[in-house]
Each structure stands twice: as structure tokens, then as C-alpha cells.
Amino acid sequence: MKKTVLILGIIFLLVGISVNSSNSISINNKSIKPLTEGNILYVGGSGPGNYSKIQDAIDDAVDGDTVFVYDDSSPYYEGIVIDKSINLIGENRDTTEIILNWGIFYVVEIYSDLVNINGFTIMSDYKVDNYYGGGLLIESNYSNVSDNIIKEFFHESLSGIKLSYYSNNNTITGNIIQDTMTGIDLSYSNNNLISSNNFNSNWNCICLDSSSGNTIINNTLTENAHGIILSSSYNNYILGNILYDDAMCTTLRLYLSNYNIIKNNTISLCASISISSSNHNTIEDNIVKQCKYGILLSNSSYNKIYSNNFINNFNYGIYTHSYYVQVHEINQKHSKRCNYYSDIIQNFNNSCLFISGNNKIYHNNFIKNTENAYDECNNFWDNGYPSGGNYWDDYNGTDDDGDGIGDTLYPISGGDNDDNYPLMEPWIIKFPVANFSIHNDSDIGIVTFDASSSFDADGEIISYEWDYGDGAVDEGIYGWHQYCEEGIYNVTLIVTDNDGFIDNLTKSIEVFIFNIPPPVTLIDGPKSGIPGCLYNYTFSISYVPEIAMVFLYVYWGDGDNSGWIGPYFSDDLIIIGHSWSEEGKYTIKAKARDYCREGSWTEFIVTMPRDKSLSISTLLKFLERFQLMNKILGL
């Protein structure tokens, strides 16, 4: 029985892993295919034939198998190599530990596609002093690492999770990563999804080197030295992350990285967004507050910075500067080198002058910063008229014509730049507001949700997405879900408006379940009939509460069945027709189920007697023998 429940749990676990980016950016990450068709091999525990080492079970597994690891034999001091498409599942991520041992570089190494790892604490022994290695090494595609704790890889250049050698289309979600030199490290790896992870007390959290098309979304980074760093990486998405209270080192940095999108992030008590030698990036709808700088911009061109809020930053909201590199001789070679790195270059006093130019900065709010902006280069600080420039809390101009734009320019310190069309009022990013109510008075785990109280002040909400906290997701203003296990669940609603802005709200619910499977309480219809004729039968499933959704299965007694049909509301009258081809006594059997439990059979007996009607040919033979009857009938 325990193994049956375990199998169902693994299936629900794997099917339930999904991430949906609720931003206006279209993210197309290929789904990870759950591997559930194979056998389950057990490690630890007391069952007959259980393995004592994880690697031994993996060696005996084949593609599609699941290796399930009990926590009662934890910790496991192993170095694990996975070279086949399997599921490696721990019983409990807090108590199922795999520890890096002497002579091993990575705790887990993945060299096969379509591997799922879930439910472990992966850590090092503090006595191990490797100069490289770490928790997980992924050199494969379409694998999934979720709901693990990865910690204590802080020595030298150890990584919590390392993706290298073109490891593409992998998903890393829902993990806790702490006390590492680098939490997640990508090299030459593309189109991976890093979502909903928590980073704490790491030197670096997420590093991308020469990697493109990756999505970093909805992660939380707190009390780290460095946050998210991109080097020579292109077309990546950094969306909806929270970066808080780092060591004032590097919070979010782009270096030699182009065409990336940084959007909807909240950064506070940190260093800054730093953009160096990087072009054509978009920095949009971010909040940067109580940091050293809002944005540091150097040697970078054609970036678009708009709709951000820079609030209470200690030095500047945006600081844009150039810098010099000394050269021994000014010649054609040096000029070419300078032009490669920057938009506007001057050779001056045997130096290469790197200048940030042609960046477009508008519709931002600069509020209560020590200094709002500094620009010694050549950039655009407005979007023209009537779109306007930025809001500056220290602007003293007037708006005599009432168009919302100041009548005099706002000078940017440091050079000859101006905001020609300063805004008189803050640029309002009118995000939608997510809200929902919960109706939870069912004793069979059914909960309904109502998001009709959500609103958007300047448009309309076009998308409602639900995460029910048990792996199930849904869409629509109204949610309906049946929980199969008691417990406390965090339910999240994500709304998106017609401008692409998002908001989310999470509420906790406690679910109590009385294990009452739904019965089929009525089968009604003819109790006898003629073979070959179609008869209708009515089925009723009386189940409390009436909002329950139920399914029906009918076996007709002659080898035919309806399969599971539905769902229906409780107390719906379900009418199904059937005919029997031969005479005899048949037992109709019906049972019902909801999304979690299956009821018992209800029976109804039908008799199909011998067909006593005479055929025309039989009647004619009878009349041939009785001629008088022919005459009477005129035949």
C-alpha cells in the first residue's frame, strides 16, 4: 500500500512541476517530460531488496525508472553519476542528505538528458577543500532540478549548480541555495529556466558566461555579496526578481552583454544595476531604492532605460561616465580598438576615451536620491514631445500651458545633457491589483476562489493565473480545486493587464478532508427489454457538497463500458443509452469518483427475455397449412 501511494505521489510531483512567466515577454521553454513509465528502485529503508547506495540503484536502473531514496539511512556520502534518463527523488528535502566526500568533485553529475532530481539536501563536508566542483554538474539537456536544498560549497570556486558545455533547456526551480561561492553558474548554456529559487549568504548568486536565451525569473536573493552577473551573454531575460540587502558589492551586472531585458525587478539596500561595455539592453519597470546607485552606466550605448523608480539612493539615481585607458602610442590600431568598445571615442593625451553614448532614458521617477543624475557623456534624457522625459523631485519649473510637461528644461549635471521635457508629476506605472476571496467549507478538500475583486485602474486585466500550491495550476477569474491531502497550502493569483504589467497575491489556506468517496446512489431505467433495442438509464451521484465535480464509470454487464465520463456536478441526472444484443440477465454496475477518491459499485439487474414475436416468413408458412384461414384473410 505504501508503495502504491508513493507511486501516485511521484506522478503528481512530476506532472505538477511547471513555471509560467506572467510578464509581457513571451518565454517559450520546452516542457520537461515526466518519466513515470518505468520501475521504482528504493534506496534505504527496510524493504526487501532495497539498495544501500544511491549509485548502485542508478547503475541498475534503465531509462524511465525512478530511484526513490528514503531518509532513514541519511546522510549518504557519495559521488553520484547519472548517465540515463531517470527520476532521482528524495523522501524529504530537509532530511534526505547527500554529502560530498573526499576525492569527489561534484555530489551529482548529470550526463543524460531528461533527468529529474527532487527532494534532497545536497551539501559538502566542511573538511573537503576542493578547488573546483560543487553540488550538481549538468552537462545535458531538458533536465529538471527542483525543490532541493543546496548548501555549504563556499571554498575557492565551488558552485551549487554548474551548467556547462552547451547544457540547454534545463529547468532549475524552487531550490534553496546558500553558503556557496557561486549558487548557479552557467557557461555556454542556452535557453535554461531559473525560477523561484531562494539565494542566501552566497558570494555570487547567478552567473552567466557566454550564455544566451536564458530566463531568470521570480527568484529571491538576500544577504549575498554579489547577485546576478552576466558576462558576454545575449538575449537573456531577468524578470520579477527580488534582490535585497547584499554586501554593497555587485547586485545586477551586465558586462560585454547585449540585447538583454531587465524588467520588473525590485532591488533594495544593495549596490546598483551596473551596465558596462554592454549595448542594446532594455531596463524597464524596475524599482531601485536605498542603494549606492540606481544605475551605473559606463562604456555602453543604445540602451533603453524607462519606467523605472529610483528612490532614496545614497549617491545617484543614474550615474553615467566615461573612462580612460592609457596607451603608448596613438595610431590606427588603437583607434580601431577604441571604436570596437564604444559608440563615441576620442584619442586624448595618449589615452583611449570610452564614452557611454546614445542611451535613451525617459519616463523614470527620481525621488529623494542624494543626487538624481550625473552624465558626462552624450545621452538622451527624454522621449520627445509630447511623450516627455523623466520626473525629478527637485525640478522647480512651471507648467503654464498645463500639458504636464515643464516649460523649462532640467539640466543633468556632469556635462551638456538636458531633459528637455521634464514631467510635472511622477510617471505612474499603474500596475493591476490582484485580489481574491476563498470559499473553504468543504470536508472533501474542495476549495473555490473568486478573483473578481482584482482590478486595473487604467485598463483591463486580460489574464488570471492560479497556482494552488500543490502543483496544480489553472486560469480564469474563478478558480475551483480539490485537494487530495490535508495540509496548509499557499495559493497564488497572478494577474496581467493589457499593458503587460503584472501583480500577484499569495494567501494560505488550511484544508481538512474526511475520506468519503462519492457513491452512485441511483440507477433508474427499464428492468427488462428486447435485445437490439436502445434503452436509457439515469444515474445520480448524491455527494456533498453539491459543488463537487464527479466522474462516472458504467459497466453494462456484456463486456461494454462507458469509461470514466464527466465531470458532472453532484446531483446531476446523467442519462446514458445502451442496448444488449442477446437475451440474458445482465448486471449494470456503476461507480463514481472525484479528483481524489473512487467509490464502490452500485448494481442494477436487467433481463433481456427471448424474442417471442413471429417473423413474416413464419406466419406465411402457418397460413399455407390452413387454407381456410387464407380465404378468410383474402390471401
- Boundaries of every domain in the chain: 437-510, 522-608
Please check whether residue 188 is in contact with residue 209, taking contact to mean a CB–CB distance below 8 angstroms: yes
Q: Give the residue carrying C-alpha cell 511622477.
A: 426
What contacts 262, CB < 8 A, 6 or more positions away?
238, 252, 254, 273, 281, 282, 283, 284, 286
Q: What confidence score (pLDDT) does residue 104 get?
A: 79
Instruction: Answer for the pair 409, 420: CB distance below 8 angstroms, yes or no.
Output: yes
Res 483: pLDDT: 86
pTM: 0.65
Coil vs helix vs strand at 303: coil
For residue 197, which of 219, 217, 215 has the smallest C-alpha distance?
219
CA distances to 44, 149, 394 from 118, rounded to whole Å, are 16, 10, 52
Query: Beta strands 171-173 and 116-118: pairing type?
Result: unpaired
End-to-end Cα spacing for the chain: 75
Q: Name the E strands within 203-332.
A: 204-209, 215-217, 220-222, 226-231, 237-239, 242-244, 250-255, 261-263, 266-268, 273-276, 282-284, 287-289, 293-298, 304-306, 309-311, 316-321, 323-326
Q: Which of 47, 160, 147, 38 is nearest to 87 (CA)?
A: 38
**Bridge pairing between strands 371-375 and 323-326:** unpaired
Report the b/e string of 208-233 with b at 16+ CB within 10 A: bbbbbbbbbbbbbbbebbbbbbbbbb
Query: CB-side exposure of 398: number of CA atoms within 13 Å?
Result: 2
Rg (CA), the chain: 34
Q: Provide the pLDDT for residue 347.
A: 40
Q: Mean pLDDT per segment of 10 residues, for the chain of length 635 residues?
A: 43 41 37 59 93 97 97 94 97 94 85 97 73 89 97 84 94 96 96 96 96 96 95 96 82 96 92 95 94 94 95 94 50 30 39 70 96 95 94 97 96 96 87 82 80 79 94 92 87 86 85 73 89 93 67 93 87 90 93 83 87 45 49 50
Q: Any idea which fold 522-608 has?
A: Immunoglobulin-like (2.60.40)
What's the length of the chain? Answer: 635
Burial (Cβ within 10 Å: 0-12, 13-18, ≥19) of residue 175 = buried
Can you read off the three cell numbers belonging to residue 414? 556632469
- The answer to whether the CB of 421 falls within 8 A of the CB of 388 is yes
- Range 437-510 classified under CATH 2.60.40.10: yes
Query: From residue 100, how far is each of 72, 73, 78 by CA, in Å?
Result: 18, 16, 6
- Is the torsion defined by CA of 410, 295, 194, 259 positive or negative? positive
Domains 437-510 and 522-608 share a fold: yes
Given a contact cutoff of 8 angstroms between Cβ atoms, the answer to whether 555 and 545 are in contact is no
Q: DSSP for 436-475, please give it.
A: -EEE---SBSEEEEE-TT-B-TTS-EEEEEEE-SSS-EEE
Per the CB < 8 A criterion, the answer to whether 60 and 84 are in contact is no
- Classify 247 in phi/psi space as left (phi over 0), alpha (psi -120 to 50) or beta: alpha
